[in-house]
A and B are shown apart, each in its own frame.
Chain A
Amino acid sequence: MPDMEYVIKVAAFLGAGYAMGMGALGPAFGLGYTAGRAQEGMSRQVAQHGALFRMMLVGQALAETSGVLALVVAFALLFARGGGEGIDKAAALLASGFSIGSAAVGVGIGNGLSAGTACASAARHPKYFPGIQQAMLVGTAVSQSTGVYAFVISLLLIFYSS
């Protein structure tokens, strides 16, 4: 029977690695997709370069959020695991990383799809820029909510399980 302290450490490290690894995968795809679609739009509307660039940055900042949440959970798993011993604590730490890591994949890709398509649409009709931007912001915020749920569950798993 190994010492429980080490089992908990192993679980926390594995969880942190999964959280940040997967938490990088989704948002990175989303950011790249947004930038790509924005480029497409800029090539179509060269005069609107500045406005499209701003929209791209706002969309990317939103798509990045789930990656930052994954980073926070990974840091919490590494440095602030809370108390508690036993196999249940180890499982909770592993599950915490799994929760935010997997969720970040979906949220990053979803937000990237939304922001990228918004950039491409704004380039098609620059006149309707404000409406498109509003729809993008609201749509992305709603899509973000599942990431926030996963973040809450991750924090509960870390700190309630002690």
Chain B
Amino acid sequence: MALKGFLDMLPLSLAVLPWGILCGSLAIQRDFTLLEALLMPLLVFAGSAQLVATELIASNAPLATILFTTFIISSRHFLYGLALRDKLKILPTRWRLSLGFLLTDELFALSTSPRSLKGKLRLIYALSASGSFYVCWLLWNIIGIVAGSYLPDLTETGLDFAIAVTFIALVIPTIRNIPVLVTVVVAGVLSVVFKLINWELGLVFASVLAMFCGYITFIFIDNKKAQRNQEKA
């Protein structure tokens, strides 16, 4: 199970390689000390929040701005916590704290099945998947720290496509019914619109609105079915 967790996470761990290198090298280029550059992936452990905060710290932004921005970028994790709450709140503290710390987009992406995180084996699977992702993220950052300023700007090379394509591979197969299809279409359209107006909270709002559209579609279809069954009876 531990090996399977590692292997299932591997494509996602590799997909963030350019981002990790970018985070590490940016920290060094912006005159962070070695310790600070290492503590970013070790403690903050968040791709986009790390990148944005590094630029903000380097430009001497006020502390409140840095922390507020971090909070906004991180706020999508509230959704993950809520979605996994009933499965994880019953676990012993050490499991909750460790899986909570490791609760990234990537771990959440691998925890969508109703059976996920139930029973010791699936917990070990999740811990190995998310733990290996953490180690990889740290390694990619260290490569960036070491290579530092010798590297070209990796965001310009279009390697962010790697993240998009892994998420495509994870999301598309889960579209097995109309409500999920509606969710995906609404999330896709709204996220683009919000991104175009550069709204920081757009990701969270696009997601929440899409979830409600999916739910409403589900209720609508459910009612239709119930009506049809009544007519038959």
A and B bind: no
